[in-house]
């Protein structure tokens, strides 16, 4: 659907691709961001928009000469990776459980980390710049190395999927792990201190910002780009292991070439040109969707996911949603649903079916089909996927 302009009084308008009215807290959050003097042109809200910290998850904010670290978020560079393999559904028969067990043994989840650091991780060029990162993370280099190639927790996942033509896809969702979180926390703290010292009357303390040209801005921007690179490479490392395990089961260990590979952030900031001007674009729970950009829009652990190609919609700052978006909080999901509900809603999926993942039940998320319908002017669907194996962090 085309966007609608929200009926709220703000210096800059808010354009929404959601098909529902925002709640009072969501409206307040949108108003707070759109009231900041450095926000450029308008704020764009994606179809999966919901409450975040400081800025809404599912929002795209372009700014001039300033950036808000909390609007980027603490999982810097969080995003998705997917590859289309030459394998077909028939080759998976009878092998799903063992594939899941092998993946769980090879890729640490939650707070776990790798016991050994593999050569490809040690050779990552980003380690050369580690000593230039914020002083608050200098003790974490060893931990960051051990966590490279690990999934994390929450809504992060690994999935084996099938498309409508029964081709096998490998997909995963992860970010910059503890190192990205700690970098973000340190910089958010600095921004809040600067706002306090300057006497800034911000509508929300989490909208504290750095001004371009200052040392604090330069330091944050450097660390932000580093963490985004870490997150992308983290997904590459996991996908390489993932691919080897599937090849072991389906091709006798023989290496295969992906038919398509996509690796995209959905929590990040970049310098871009929009409406003829240089701006900083913060996508918090949104994927870049310029013309010909490939992206990934996952559903819940029991729903469809989509590989998409961008249409370059200018009003959205060439963006699209990053998923279905939560319909209810994790705590509410645990109170509303039972283990029997989880088993029913994940029928046909090889996955954990215990109370530890109850907060990720499909019913806690918005219907992905409606989210996709709302952004037909932002992306075209390249492939529709449905998971047959799902591993949650």
Q: Check whether residue 233 and residue 357 sit in a common domain.
A: no
| Nearest alpha-carbon partner for 156 in 323, 288, 308 | 323
Q: What percent of the chain has pLDDT over 70?
A: 100
Structural domain including 340 reads 328-364
Query: What is the mean pLDDT of the segment spanning 33-60?
Result: 96
- pLDDT (tens digit per residue) in 6-16: 999 999 999 99
Q: Check whether residue 285 and residue 316 sit in a common domain.
A: yes
The band of 48, judged by pLDDT with boundaries at 50, 70 and 90, is very high
Using DSSP's 3-state secondary structure scheme, residue 173 falls into: strand
| Nearest alpha-carbon partner for 68 in 43, 48, 104 | 43
Q: Check whether residue 165 and residue 305 sit in a common domain.
A: yes
Q: Check whether residue 207 and residue 253 sit in a common domain.
A: yes
Q: Check whether residue 157 and residue 276 sit in a common domain.
A: yes
Residue 101, CA atoms < 13 Å, CB-side half-sphere: 5
| Nearest alpha-carbon partner for 47 in 347, 358, 308 | 308
- On whether the CB atoms of residues 306 and 384 are closer than 8 A, the answer is yes
**331-338 long-range Cβ contacts below 8 angstroms, 24+ apart:** 331/359, 332/364, 333/358, 333/359, 333/360, 333/361, 333/363, 333/364, 334/358, 334/359, 336/363, 337/361, 337/363, 337/364
Q: Check whether residue 342 and residue 202 sit in a common domain.
A: no
| Nearest alpha-carbon partner for 203 in 27, 374, 379, 321 | 27
The residues that bridge with 391 in the sheet, in sequence order, are 158
For residue 19, give both structure tokens: 């098909």
Name the domain count of the chain: 2
Biggest distance spanned by C-alpha atoms of the chain: 65
pLDDT of residue 190: 98
Q: Check whether residue 258 and residue 355 sit in a common domain.
A: no
**CA distance linking residue 81 with residue 136, whole number of Å:** 30
pLDDT of 85 strictly over 70: yes
Q: Check whether residue 99 and residue 225 sit in a common domain.
A: yes
pLDDT of 74 strictly over 70: yes
The band of 233, judged by pLDDT with boundaries at 50, 70 and 90, is very high
User: Exactly one of 134, 156, 187, 322 is catalytic; which is it?
Assistant: 322
Query: What is the mean pLDDT of the segment spanning 273-302?
Result: 96
pLDDT of residue 1: 62
pLDDT of residue 295: 98
- pLDDT (tens digit per residue) in 174-226: 999 999 999 999 999 999 999 999 898 899 999 999 999 999 999 999 999 99
322 assigned to active site: yes
pLDDT of residue 325: 83
**CA distance linking residue 55 with residue 65, whole number of Å:** 18
Mean per-residue pLDDT over the chain, rounded: 96
Query: What is the mean pLDDT of the segment spanning 96-118?
Result: 96
pLDDT of 318 strictly over 90: yes
Query: What is the mean pLDDT of the segment spanning 228-244?
Result: 98
The domain spanning residue 74 has which CATH number?
3.90.1860.10
**CA distance linking residue 286 with residue 79, whole number of Å:** 9
pLDDT of 53 strictly over 90: yes
Reported pTM: 0.96
Query: What is the mean pLDDT of the segment spanning 277-294?
Result: 97
Q: Check whether residue 234 and residue 162 sit in a common domain.
A: yes
pLDDT of residue 247: 98
pLDDT of residue 393: 82
pLDDT of residue 19: 83
pLDDT of residue 375: 97
How far apart, in Å, are the Cα atoms of 259 and each of 83, 187, 307? 7, 40, 13
Query: What is the mean pLDDT of the segment spanning 281-296?
Result: 97
- On whether the CB atoms of residues 387 and 160 are closer than 8 A, the answer is yes
Q: Check whether residue 58 and residue 156 sit in a common domain.
A: yes
Q: Check whether residue 259 and residue 334 sit in a common domain.
A: no
- Tally Cβ neighbours within 10 Å of residue 57: 24
Q: Check whether residue 256 and residue 275 sit in a common domain.
A: yes
């Amino acid at each position: 659907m085309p966007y609608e302009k929200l009926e709220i009084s703000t210096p800059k308008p808010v354009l929404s691709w959601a098909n529902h009215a925002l709640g009072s807290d969501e409206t307040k959050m949108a108003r707070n961001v759109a009231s900041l003097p450095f926000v450029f042109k308008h704020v764009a809200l994606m179809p999966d928009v919901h409450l975040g910290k400081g800025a809404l998850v599912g929002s795209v904010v372009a700014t001039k000469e300033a950036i808000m670290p909390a609007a980027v978020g603490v999982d810097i560079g969080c995003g998705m990776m997917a590859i289309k393999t030459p394998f077909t559904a028939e080759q998976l028969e009878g092998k799903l459980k063992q594939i899941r067990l092998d993946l769980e043994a090879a890729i640490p989840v939650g707070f776990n980390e790798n016991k050994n650091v593999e050569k490809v991780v040690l050779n990552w060029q980003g380690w050369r710049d580690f000593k230039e990162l914020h002083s608050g993370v200098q003790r974490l280099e060893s931990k960051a190395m051990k966590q490279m190639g690990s999934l994390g927790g929450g809504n992060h996942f690994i999935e084996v999927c099938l498309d409508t033509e029964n081709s096998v896809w490998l997909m995963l969702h992860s970010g910059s792990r503890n190192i990205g979180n700690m970098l973000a926390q340190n910089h958010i703290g600095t921004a809040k201190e600067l706002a306090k010292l300057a006497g800034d009357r911000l509508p929300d303390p989490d909208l504290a910002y750095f001004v371009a040209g200052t040392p604090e801005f330069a330091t944050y921007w450097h660390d932000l780009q580093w963490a985004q690179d870490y997150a992308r490479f983290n997904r590459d490392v996991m996908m390489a292991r993932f691919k080897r395990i599937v090849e072991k089961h389906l091709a006798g260990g023989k290496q295969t070439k992906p038919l398509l590979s996509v690796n995209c952030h959905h929590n990040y900031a970049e310098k871009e040109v929009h409406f003829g001007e240089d701006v900083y674009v913060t996508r918090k729970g949104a994927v870049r969707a310029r013309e010909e950009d490939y992206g990934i829009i996952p559903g819940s652990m029991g729903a469809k996911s989509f590989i998409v190609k961008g249409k370059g919609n200018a009003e959205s700052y060439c963006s699209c949603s990053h998923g279905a978006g939560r319909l209810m909080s994790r705590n509410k999901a645990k109170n509303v649903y039972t283990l029997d509900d989880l088993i029913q809603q994940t029928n046909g999926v090889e996955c954990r079916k215990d109370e530890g993942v109850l907060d990720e039940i499909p019913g806690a998320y918005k219907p992905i089909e409606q989210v996709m319908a709302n952004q037909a002017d932002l992306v075209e669907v390249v492939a529709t996927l449905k998971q047959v194996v799902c591993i949650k962090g």
